[in-house]
Copies of this chain bind each other. A is one copy, B any other.
């Protein structure tokens, strides 16, 4: 049984890439075109993709037909490229177990994003799938995330720092979601979680800088991917946009 990080590292080395390609069909896409849009996007970007990441919200917004389109989308992803379910699920006990079953057994995802707000026992049913990756939200890139994630604890540190240090001790398959828009915080997370695999959204449409992300995360294949969704999918040439992001992430530090 290979671990998720091993599979991701293998694929990343194969294509020399840290790029995670988001598969997020906009709400105004006619539902009959969603799967075709994704098939074209996958074909164009796969040569530069370390992994793919559909966000389930963009399929659920179409109801059950959207989930049929997700099925078709997953079938179009070539073998050997890990697929992350961006689902941000989180619940407790047998409910969390049902979500984990849905994502890892029914849908067959290699990894999933999970919300840690209910703590370790709520996350455990996901972690029990030892060959899957579990990316726990740590410090996200939106303004409001500061209310909870940056709340200053009695010991003086922000909550996300405690989470970055503690959550990877729960299991070897814990990864972290940390936004690209605050490079200093990204560097701090890397310092506290030196061997956790990181999923970094926030470059492209949200403005994070690829070179800063690489420096802050001490980038190493398998231990970091940078997600881009709209900036690739909406580019006139999505394959070219994915290649450019791959190259920007591989460029030597200035």
Closest to A162 in B: B151
Q: Do A90 and B119 have beta carbons less than 8 Å apart?
A: no
List A residues 115-146 near B (Cβ within 8 Å).
115-123, 137, 140-146
Q: Which partner residue on chain B sits nearest A24 by CB separation?
A: B95
Q: How often does this chain occur in the complex, in copies?
A: 2
The smallest C-beta distance from A134 to any residue of chain B, in angstroms, reads 14
Interface residues on A, range: 35 or more
Q: How far is the CA of A140 from the CA of B115 in the complex (A)?
A: 14
Instruction: Kindly provide the distance from the CB of A153 to the nearest chain B CB, expressed in whole angstroms.
Output: 6
Q: Chain B residues with Cβ under 8 A from A145's Cβ? A: 92, 117-119, 122
**A107: chain B residues within 8 A (beta carbon):** 63
Other 12 A-B pairs with CB < 8 A, given A57-B95, A61-B99, A118-B140: A57-B91, A57-B96, A60-B106, A61-B98, A62-B106, A117-B148, A118-B142, A118-B149, A121-B144, A123-B144, A148-B163, A152-B153
Give the interface of A toward B (CB within 8 A): 24, 26-27, 55, 57-58, 60-64, 67-68, 71, 88-99, 101-102, 106-107, 115-123, 137, 140-149, 151-154, 156, 159, 162-163, 166
